[in-house]
Structure 1
Amino acid sequence: MYAQLRETAAELAGVLWREHTVYRERGGGVVIRGEHVRRWISLAPTGGKDRALLRAGRILDGGTTAPARTEVVVDLTAPVAELATVCRRMLAEVAASAGPAPGPDAGPSRAGRPGRGRAGRGARKQPKTPREPKTPREPKAPKARSRHTGAGSWVVLVLVGIAVAAWAYGVFGGPAF
């Protein structure tokens, strides 16, 4: 199955993008990365013969991949042109949900720099650039409780003491008259 996925992915990558990288992922599938368009496509086995799960997503700043935005099961026996049509539709959905992709020469911080875009009268305010995700905070420590023994603990201690006294009375036979 991997050989079929790899062959299909290589053909598909050539049809979709001039610049691409094809590699195997841990789960046995194949990933096609288009760095210049900041998108990825993966083909993964579904367990059925000649069928694959086709997923598409974005490539984030720094080169990491975002989770898949869309996925569909495709027939690998279909012509590559049909698979490319499905991929283009999925990539369009990913692009629409993520906003416009920056050009190949645009750096990740270029959009928010002053002096870019229209200037003067009628200039629109630039949207804020997304902030870095906050680092997860450590959970707050529970409030300090009193170190005094609570009433429930005293009840347990008294009952244990009574049980030990009853056992000692039964073993040693009680008082001798």
Structure 2
Amino acid sequence: MYAELRDTAGELAGILWREHTVYRERGGGVVIRGEHVRRWISLAPTGGKDRALLRAGRILDGGTTAPARTEVVVDLTAGTAELAAVCRGLLADVAATDESALGVGRGERAGKREKPGRKARAPRPGRPRKERHTSAASCFVLLCVAAVLGAWLYGLFLFGGPGY
């Protein structure tokens, strides 16, 4: 099974990335590592014939690999083009997960570069933050609770307590 995985991984690596490293992992699978795109793909045996677990993840600073973000079981009898399409889908999922974790879409893009010749904008000054205070409604509720408690205590002492 390892020889089949190794051959398949070599073909996939050539299709997906120009620069890649293919190596064996401890569990008997094969890893394709694309340093220039900071992503990795792993093919591992599943126990079934002609099936493999395909996982994708990212490469962290320093060269260590992050845990897999997405995984799927694939049929190795499918053509290399179909497997490459599945790999691209998994890599897109990894990229989307990374963008959402970085906050892309909330005003800032990861790795955004200024256009040449364009002056950088100064950040907009935000409204000064106010200190939190108890709202008027909360104060009214607290006063009502205190009034009810005071009335109960006043009645308790005025009429001598419960008449058991």
Please report the TM-score for the alignment, with normalisation by the length of structure 1.
Answer: 0.59
What amino acid maps onto 1:32 in structure 2?
I
1:44 alignment partner, SS class: strand
In the alignment, what sits opposite 1:59? 59
Alignment of 1:99-114 (within 5 A): 99=99
What secondary structure sits across from 1:99 in the alignment?
Answer: helix
How far apart are residue 124 of structure 1 and its match? 7.0
1:61-86: CA deviation from partner (whole Å, max 9, x where unpaired): 00000000000000001000000000
Structure 2 match to 1:171: none
| DSSP 3-state at the match of 2:71 | strand
Indicate the residue corresponding to 2:24 in structure 1.
24
Superposed CA offset, 1:55-106 (max 9, x none): 0000000000000000000000100000000000000000010129xxxxxx
* Number of residue pairs the alignment of both structures matches: 110
Identify the residue that residue 98 of structure 1 maps to in structure 2.
98
Who is 1:119 aligned against?
Answer: 120
1:52-91 to structure 2, matched below 5 A, reads 52-91=52-91
C-alpha displacement of 1:18: 0.4
Q: Whole-Å Cα distance in 2 between the matches of residues 93 and 23 of structure 1?
A: 23
Which entry has the higher C-alpha Rg, 1 or 2?
1
1:49 alignment partner in structure 2: 49
Secondary structure of 2:65's counterpart equals coil
Q: Distance in 2 between matches of 1:35 and 1:94?
A: 15
Root mean square deviation, CA, Å:
2.0
| Gap regions ≥5 residues in structure 2 | 101-110, 126-164
Give the drift of 1:11. 0.2
CA distance, structure 1, for counterparts of residue 89 and residue 2 of structure 2 = 24
* Aligned pairs for 1:138-177 within 5 A: none
Larger helix proportion of the pair: 2
Moved over 4 A (4+): none
Report the alpha carbon displacement of residue 5 of structure 1 after superposing the two structures with TM: 0.2
Letter of the 1:57 partner, please give it: G
List alignment gaps of at least 5 residues for structure 1.
101-110, 126-177
Alpha-carbon distance change, 124 to 9 in structure 1, aligned in 2, over 3 angstroms: farther
State the match for 2:137 in structure 1. none
Q: Which amino acid aligns with 1:76?
A: L
In structure 2, distance between residues paired with 1:36 and 1:99: 18
